[in-house]
Amino acid sequence: MTRTAIVTGAARGIGAATAVQLAADGFAVAVLDLDAEACAGTVAAIEATGGRAIAVGANVADSADVASAVASVADELGAPTVLVNNAGILRDNLLFKMTDDDWDAVLGVHLRGAFLMSRAVQGYQVKEGWGRIVNLSSTSALGNRGQANYAAAKAGMQGFTKTLAIELGRYGVTANAVAPGFIQTDMTKATAERMGVSFEDFLAGAAKEIPVGRPGQPEDVAAAVSFFCSEAASFVSGQVLYVAGGPKA
């Protein structure tokens, strides 16, 4: 039996690597991002290895978008019982310069997005008596200069995850969070640009602070998500796994 997974923000970066990994694990995958066309590369990568995937365009922060996207996935691929809430944005600024919009946009995509997607998917999970939700937190949940909005959202993801685990466990649904450290993606590239540092220097500087001596790759995070989505992880729920090349807590 093929189960269906939805990965949000899967056009690139960690979401794309996660979609590819879950397809390799045997899931049919809905590759969801703001722009369906931007998902073509991820879908092609999955199909090239014999997997099944569709592109879905939706804004996870928009209730109507989410409802129609999840319904169309159920129609085309079958009941979505795995959900990876990965879509994310940055609007970094020191508190005194942070605008209302910086705050609302970040909380909207990460927290409201994860809430809307999880609420839409849980009906299918409960009906099937099986499900997996994995939420992307971050080491920034522990506090990070210039990221009051993002840190609040990523800490919020952890409380949200633990509550889903408590509410949905009796229906065979687990909920866990993966909290990456520094991962080499367009998101960290944009941070380097904003700071006026070359990406190479930014990566080298980050590597010096990481015990294993290298920045993380999207596949490092995808491997952790894959574990939480597996049958073997059915007794692991409400956990936060830091994937950061060293200890964080």
Q: Which residues are catalytic?
A: 150
From residue 71 to residue 110, the character string flagging contacts with ligand NAP as x (rule: CB under 6 A) and all else as - is ---------------xxxx-------------------x-
Query: What's at 206, amino acid-wise?
Result: A
Q: Does 182 bind ligand NAP (CB under 6 A)?
A: yes
Q: How far is the CB of 128 from ligand NAP (least distance, A)?
A: 24
φ, ψ for residue 52 (rounded to 5)?
A: -115, 130
Q: Please, which of residues 111-130 interact with ligand NAP by CB under 6 A?
A: 113
One of 15, 51, 80, 131 touching ligand NAP (CB under 6 A) = 15
Cα–Cα separations (whole angstroms), residue 232 to 8, 181, 236: 23, 25, 9
Q: How far is the CB of 110 from ligand NAP (least distance, A)?
A: 6
Closer Cβ to ligand NAP, 80 or 113, answer by number: 113
Give the number of other Cβ atoms within 10 Å of residue 20's Cβ. Answer: 24
Q: Does 59 bind ligand NAP (CB under 6 A)?
A: yes
Closer Cβ to ligand NAP, 39 or 130, answer by number: 39
Gap between the Cα atoms of 183 and 178, Å rounded = 13
Q: Please, which of residues 161-180 interact with ligand NAP by CB under 6 A?
A: 180
Query: What's at 224, amino acid-wise?
Result: A
Strands 173-180 and 240-243: what pairing?
parallel
Q: Please, which of residues 203-222 interact with ligand NAP by CB under 6 A?
A: none
Q: Does 35 bind ligand NAP (CB under 6 A)?
A: yes
One of 7, 20, 54, 60 touching ligand NAP (CB under 6 A) = 60
One of 136, 173, 222, 224 touching ligand NAP (CB under 6 A) = 136
Gap between the Cα atoms of 95 and 217, Å rounded = 30
One of 34, 106, 148, 155 touching ligand NAP (CB under 6 A) = 34
Burial class (CB in 10 A: 0-12, 13-18, 19+), 100: exposed
Q: Does 12 bind ligand NAP (CB under 6 A)?
A: yes
Count of residues of this chain found to bind ligand NAP when the rule CB under 6 A is applied: 28
Sheet bearing 131-136, strands edge to edge: 53-57, 28-33, 4-8, 80-85, 131-136, 173-180, 240-243
Closer Cβ to ligand NAP, 20 or 60, answer by number: 60
Answer for the pair 49, 27: CB distance below 8 angstroms, yes or no. Answer: no
Q: Give the CA dihedral 17, 222, 175, 235, nearest 10 degrees.
A: 140
Closer Cβ to ligand NAP, 4 or 42, answer by number: 42
